Amino acid sequence: MPSSAIHPALEGIRLAVFDLDGTLIDSVPDLAAAVDGALCELRLPEVGEAVVRDWVGNGSRKLVERALYAVGAQDRDLDEVHEAFLRHYRQAPCRLTQVYPGVREALEALATRGVTIGLITNKPTAFIAPILESLEIEHYFALTLGGDALPTRKPDPAPLLHLADRLGVAPSACLMVGDSRHDIEAGRRAGFRTLAVPYGYNHGEPVAASEPDVVVESLGELV
């Protein structure tokens, strides 16, 4: 493809909305450290990165709930353990987290082409800016939304429709880019086109099973 050519998935797209965890960043090492930090404080066994990788995607409260079940401590006060998790994660949300290969190039290429870029994560809003700033990619995003920003979150289409409306772009000219079935379902229900990456977190299932419009091995393929 000549450098001026556009990936077919971007044809007619004016707004590209990215998921965060598992799509732009590999955040599991820091998430797992915070989960284990909270469990350790309660004198419960640690769970480690491998299982946390399969539990991310429905927000931090659900992540902590899954961890408590896994260690047989579902009778513990979820609010309290979640608070402990948030405290640990706040201390180090971006110590081990890395941007996936191809991400910076894709964001730069989209920005250069005048495509508006948004971000919708199920992660709490408070963590978005510190993480994007620490990785020096915050300036690409016109608008970001966390999992606690609206009454519903992905796979509900409401956050996507809200963002498209705020940015004045029709859903048919929007692309949802994500790693999980929640992103693809939300995108489809919002009337967006959908693009999936297979390297992220999808509860141990291949994201292709959600039948996104396009799958790319790396976001670098968009360039």
Ligand X SMILES: O=C(O)COP(=O)(O)O
| Chain positions contacting Mg ion, by CB under 5 A | 19, 21-22, 179-180
Phi, psi dihedral angles at 16 (to 5 degrees)? -105, 120
User: Do the annotations mark residue 183 as ligand-binding?
Assistant: no
User: Do the annotations mark residue 156 as ligand-binding?
Assistant: no
Q: Is the distance from CB of 56 to CB of 110 less than 8 angstroms?
A: no
Does the footprint of ligand X cover residue 123 (CB under 6 A)?
Answer: yes
State the catalytic residues.
19
Q: Which is nearer to ligand X, 1 or 174 (CB)?
A: 174
Angle between helix axes 78-91 and 28-41 (nearest 10 degrees) is 130
Query: At closest approach, how far in Å is the CB of 118 from ligand X?
Result: 13
How far apart are the C-alpha atoms of 197 and 53, rounded to whole Å?
Answer: 15
User: Do the annotations mark residue 75 as ligand-binding?
Assistant: no
Q: Where are the alpha helices (DSSP H) in the chain?
A: 28-41, 49-55, 60-70, 78-91, 103-112, 128-134, 158-166, 181-190
Dihedral angle, C-alpha 20, 26, 30, 34, nearest 10 °: 60
Query: At closest approach, how far in Å is the CB of 181 from ligand X?
Result: 11
Among 60, 97, 194, 210, binds ligand X (CB under 6 A): 60
Among 116, 122, 194, 202, binds ligand X (CB under 6 A): 122
How far apart are the C-alpha atoms of 114 and 110, rounded to whole Å?
Answer: 6
The burial class, CB within 10 Å (0-12 / 13-18 / 19+), for 60 is: buried
Q: Specify the 3-state DSSP secondary structure of 1.
A: coil
Query: At closest approach, how far in Å is the CB of 12 from ligand X?
Result: 25
Query: At closest approach, how far in Å is the CB of 122 from ligand X?
Result: 4
> How many residues line the site for ligand X (CB under 6 A)?
13
Does the footprint of ligand X cover residue 56 (CB under 6 A)?
Answer: yes
Tell me which of ligand X, Mg ion, none is bound by residue 123, counting a contact when its beta carbon lies within the kind-specific cut-off of 5 to 8 angstroms.
ligand X
Residues between 14 and 43 with contacts to ligand X, criterion CB under 6 A = 19-22
**Which residues of the shown chain bind ligand X in the complex (CB under 6 A)?**
19-22, 56-60, 121-123, 180
